[in-house]
Amino acid sequence: MLDIKYVRQNLAAVEAALSRRGGGVSLEPFRLADEEHRRDLAELEALRHQRNRVTAEIARLKKSGDPAEPLVAQMREVSARIRELEQRVAHAEERLNEILLGLPNLPHADVPTGRDSADNPVVASFGEPPRFDFEPRPHWEIGSRLGILDPERAAKIAGARFPLYYAAGARLERALINFMLDLHTGEHGYREVLPPFIVNRRSMTATGQLPKFAPDLFKLEGWDYFLIPTAEVPLTNLHQDEILEEEDLPLAYTAYTPCFRSEAGSYGKDTRGLIRQHQFNKIELVRFCRPEDSYAELNRLLAQAETVLRRLELPYRVVELCTGDLGFSAAKTYDIEVWMPGQGAYREISSCSNFEDFQARRGGIRFRRRGRKGTEFVHTLNGSGLAVGRTFAALLENRQRADGAVDIPAVLRPYMNGMERLTP
């Protein structure tokens, strides 16, 4: 959520900044609701002040046995007016809140203006796409030949877009999870968390999935609960409605969780393989920090996510999302894209974002500066470190051999009981 005071005082600038995301934006409904709200609130508070004063006077009169009836009668009317105003103010507040919750974050001034992913500049790259003296296969073919992926039976059990791994495949997925968690907890200073995979509406609203993106979520029937689409939601909400101490910042959490996404509107896209699933595994990194540190923290986060790919010896590039491709809650985002030989394309495998105080304001996540009065909102960041299913797919495609075998990278072998290669 944007700072209502800032929006009020910088209407045109906010409209312009939001317009960079694409489409026109008018804050006229906001302005009207805000003005009405402030007007009514001022009157309401004045009346309440009067009531508080007179009510104390009534108490005094009654105690000394003096007649209070005239004042009581007067207050009867004041109270009626107060009730009326309270309703109006409550409605206006609701309306304002609705508007503000629906506004996306302001893109950072540095973010390049653009329409869609075609306009995302490449800012870094690592490794060379491998050369094959045969036609590289897509990972689903490799996986099926190895007998470690079984989309047909997954469809029987659940439906399309669900994963089913066997044997060394299941082991490899688990190895990736453990490798990533060990890296982030052991070398990058993250605290490991195993959070709920189901969260409530408040949490989904704080991180920005709700109210706008309900169709992308799986909701439990008969409950106001949702399956998490990413561990960002439970991790960021760890400190919901808390006031942190400056010296405790930055805080860094990592979690492995399955992620559940309805993928509404993605019919026909990535219909085969592990790229787009209703359920997938992900290691998430979440950081809370002081506002002045958040862009340095974003670079740190990005480097940590990149480290996973470097250790796995997978070629990738980093793109900066342009304004048109930027997520709802983000002020700035870098995507890491891994090379997929089976598709001859780079595909997103991690997204690292700075949300500034957008989520913190929605979630009530503050901190207190040492020796200072009052509180400020923290800045929150998160990044995938990494999407495990996509990493699995990238591994199969980049390290496939002509005979259908797949080499296991050195860092994973300890997690695979020393296994060096998956063989048909």
Partner RNA sequence: GGAGAGAUGGCCGAGUAGGUCGAAGGCGCUCGCCUGCUAAGCGAGUAUACUCCGAAAGGGGUAUCCCGGGUUCGAAUCCCGGUCUCUCCGCCA
- Nearest to RNA of 67, 374 (CB atom): 374
- Nearest to RNA of 72, 411 (CB atom): 72
Using rule CB under 7 A, residue 214 touches RNA: no
Question: Per CB under 7 A, which region of 12-20, 48-56, 173-181, 317-325 contacts RNA?
Answer: 48-56
Restricted to residues 238-277, the positions that interact with RNA (CB under 7 A) are: 243
Question: Per CB under 7 A, which region of 51-59, 180-188, 349-357, 416-424 contacts RNA?
Answer: 51-59
Using rule CB under 7 A, residue 374 touches RNA: yes
- Can you tell me which of 10, 15, 19, 72 binds RNA, judged by CB under 7 A? 72
191 a catalytic residue: no
Using rule CB under 7 A, residue 420 touches RNA: no
Using rule CB under 7 A, residue 373 touches RNA: yes
Q: Which of 161, 171, 261, 399 is catalytic?
A: 261
Restricted to residues 74-93, the positions that interact with RNA (CB under 7 A) are: 75-76, 78-79, 83, 90
Question: Per CB under 7 A, which region of 52-60, 117-125, 142-150, 331-339 contacts RNA?
Answer: 52-60
| Dihedral, CA of residue 25, residue 29, residue 31 and residue 32, to nearest 10 | 160
The least distance separating RNA from the CB of residue 294, rounded to whole angstroms, comes to 19
CA 114 to chain centre: 22
351 a catalytic residue: yes
Using rule CB under 7 A, residue 55 touches RNA: yes
Neighbours of 399 (CB within 10 A): 20
- Can you tell me which of 52, 97, 271, 423 binds RNA, judged by CB under 7 A? 52
Question: Per CB under 7 A, which region of 42-50, 328-336, 384-392, 403-411 contacts RNA?
Answer: 42-50
| Number of chain residues interacting with RNA (CB under 7 A) | 32
290 a catalytic residue: no
Give contact residues for RNA (rule: CB under 7 A): 5, 41-42, 44-46, 48-49, 51-56, 58-60, 62-63, 72, 75-76, 78-79, 83, 90, 243, 366, 368, 373-375
Residues classed as catalytic: 261, 276, 348, 351, 390
